[in-house]
A and B are shown apart, each in its own frame.
Chain A
Amino acid sequence: MSKRQVAMVFDLNKCLGCQTCTIACKRLWTREEGMDYMWWATVNTMPGRGTPRDWETSGGGFKDGAAQPGRMPSRKDFGEAWKFNHEEVFFGGKGQSTHLHVEGDQPDWGPNWDEDQGGGEYPNSYYFYLPRICNHCTHPACLEACPRKAIVKREEDGIVLIDEDRCRGYRFCMEACPYKKIYFNHVKKVSQKCIFCFPRVEQGVAPACARMCPGRVRFVGYKDDQNGPIWKLVEKWKVAIPLHPEFGTEPNVFYVPPIAPPRYDENGNIDESKPRIPDEYLVSLFGPKVLDVLAILKAEMAKTRAGEKSEVLDVLIAYQWKSMFGGFDRDPATIEWTKG
C-alpha cells in the first residue's frame, strides 16, 4: 500500500453523459501514434455492455485473494478509431447524394456504442451514465500480473503507472485488470492507461477530466484528507463506494449511486413502492452496500426537504467548484508546462 492515495468520487446523479471528460483526456493524453483507439476516460450508458464490450464479465482481478484468469479484450471490443468520409461529404461537391459514414469495414461495436439504450420497459425505462477511468487500485491486478515489474504504484500518491521503458508489450496486465482499463499501443508496442494526470497532480492541479466536467460530478483529493471531499464522502458519510468491489482490487474511484425518478403503476400513478432502477441491478454493480448508501442519501434528502441542513448533500452539490478538488485547485493556466 502506498503512503497516501489520491482518489476520485463520481456522483452518478449528476453525470450528463456529455463526454467532456472523455474528450478532455483524449486531447491531453491520447493523441499520439498508436493511441487513436484509446479512451482512458470513458462514459457509458448503463445498463449496457460498456467499453470494452462486456468488460464486466471478462474475468481477472481476485477472488478470495486468489488471482483469476481474465480475457484479453480485442481492439474491436474497445472500438476502432473509425475513419469517416469527411472529404467527400464536405468538399466532394456531391450535395445530398452522399452522407457521412465510416469508411471500410462497418463496425459492430465502439466506445459508447449502446448509448442511451438503458433498461426497463416504458414507462419505467431507466438508464444512467457510468464514467470510468483506471481505478488506481490499492491491490492492482495489472501491477501484480506484470512479470517485468513495469507497473508501479507510487508511494507518495498511489497513482499506478506503466513504465514504458520496462514494458515489453506482453499484455498480462490487460488480461488481469478486471476493469479492462489498459490499452495496447500497437505502434509503440507498450501498454498504456490513465495516469491520473500525474504531471498536473504534482503541480496541485486536478486531473483534466475532473476540472473540465460541467456536471460537477468528479471529486478529487487524498483519501485521508479530512478536509477534502473524498474522505467526507467515502469515510465519513459512506455514500461513495467502488464499482464491482468483488473484483478484489480495491479501487480508488468511488461512486455515488444513482437515484432514479419514481415509477408509474399500471394506472399511470406514481408508485414509490419499488425503485425504478432495480435494486438487484445496482447491487450487481456496487455490491450490497449500495442499498445502505441509497438509504443514507434518501434520509439526507428528506432532512433538507424538512428544512434542515445536510453536510453530505452540500458536499455533493458542490456549491463551490474548487471545493471538489481537495486542494488540487490550482489553475493550470498559471503554470508553464514543458514536454519532458
Chain B
Amino acid sequence: MRVNFVRGAPVEWLLDPEAEPWSRAQAEKVELYGTPIGMQPTEIIRTAWANRKIGAVGEVRVSALHNGEVIAFRLDWPDATENRDLDDTSAFPDGAAIMLPVVAGAPLATMGAEGKPVSIWYWRADADTQGRNVLSEGIGTSRTLDTKLVSSHGVWRNGRWNVVIARPFKIQSSDPQVALEPGQTTEFGVAVWEGSNSERGGVKAFSGAWRPLEIAPSTGGGKA
C-alpha cells in the first residue's frame, strides 16, 4: 500500500476520517482472518471459544496519508453495531489496530517475538481519541508505552466504522519504537475487534501476513 503525501494537510484533517484529503488516498482491501484457536494464550480462552466464531469482521479497507510530519492510517469496515461502551460486564467495545515491525523480520502472527518487537497503534471505541502506543514481543507480552503518541478517532455512520490512527514520524523515546520516515518502505498488519461478538485481547480478526507499505517521499503531493 502506498502512503500518499499531502502537502500542508493539517493534522486535524488527517485525524478526521471523513475529511476531504482522504479521498486522495488509495484504499486497499485487506482480508481478515479470525485468530486461530490454538494461538489463544490460555486454555480457558481456548475452551471458551472452541465453538464460537472468532473474527466477526472479514474485510477492512485501509488507506494511509502523511503530511511530512504525521502518518495516518484510515480503516473502514461495515459494522451493524456501534459498540462504544462497557456499561455492563458483558459489553465489549469495538477496536482496531495497525501493527508495524520495529525490527525487520519480526513475526506478525505472534505479535513479535523476544528481541523482535512490533509496534501496535491501537484504537478502542470506548476511549476514542486516546490512541495507545503498544509494544509487543510475543503473545501476552504487549504493554502500553503511552497514550499520547498515537492519536485516533472513529466515526460510526450508517453501519460503517471509519477510524483514523496516526503518529508523528519523529519521536523521542527511550523505548523501542518503530522508526518511520517519508520515502521509506516497510510492512504493516491490521486487526479489528468486534465488540458485539465479545472480541477482546487475542480474540480478534487480523490480516494474516505483513503487507508492504510504501511511504511516499515528501515531495510533490499537491496542496491539501
Contact = CB atoms under 8 A, between A and B. Distances in A.
B186 interface: no
B88 A145 contact: no
Contacts of B202: 147
Nearest to B126: A189
Contact of B201 (A69, A73, A148): A148
A176 B89 contact: no
B89 A73 contact: yes
Given A148-B201, A170-B201, A189-B126, A67 B89 contact: no
Q: Is the interface of B mostly helix, strand, loop or mixed?
A: loop
A148 B89 contact: no
A61 to B, nearest CB: 10
Contacts of A76: 88
Given A145-B44, A148-B201, A172-B42, A186 B87 contact: yes
Report the contact-size class of chain A (Cβ under 8 Å from the partner).
Answer: 20 to 34
A171 B47 contact: no
B142 interface: yes
Interface in B88-137: 88-90, 126
Q: How many B residues are at the interface, by size bracket?
A: 20 to 34
A141 B43 CA distance: 10
Contact of A66 (B47, B48, B142): B47
B171 interface: no
A144 B201 contact: no
A185 to B, nearest CB: 10
A144 B43 contact: yes
A146 B143 contact: no
A141 B44 contact: yes
B44 A144 contact: yes
B89 A174 contact: yes
A172 B143 CA distance: 18
Given A74-B88, A74-B90, A147 B42 contact: yes
Contacts of B139: 147
Contact of A184 (B43, B46, B89, B140): B89
A70 interface: yes
Interface in A167-192: 168-172, 174-176, 184, 186, 189
Contacts of B44: 67, 141, 144-145, 172, 175-176
Contacts of A166: 143
Interface in B24-54: 40-48
A75 interface: yes
Nearest to B142: A148
A172 B43 CA distance: 11
22 contacts: A66-B47, A67-B44, A67-B47, A74-B89, A76-B88, A141-B44, A144-B42, A146-B42, A147-B45, A147-B139, A147-B201, A147-B202, A148-B201, A149-B140, A170-B201, A172-B42, A172-B44, A172-B45, A172-B201, A176-B44, A184-B89, A186-B87
User: What are the 7 closest A-B residue pairs judged by CB atoms, nearest first?
Assistant: A145-B44, A67-B44, A147-B41, A170-B200, A67-B43, A170-B201, A67-B47
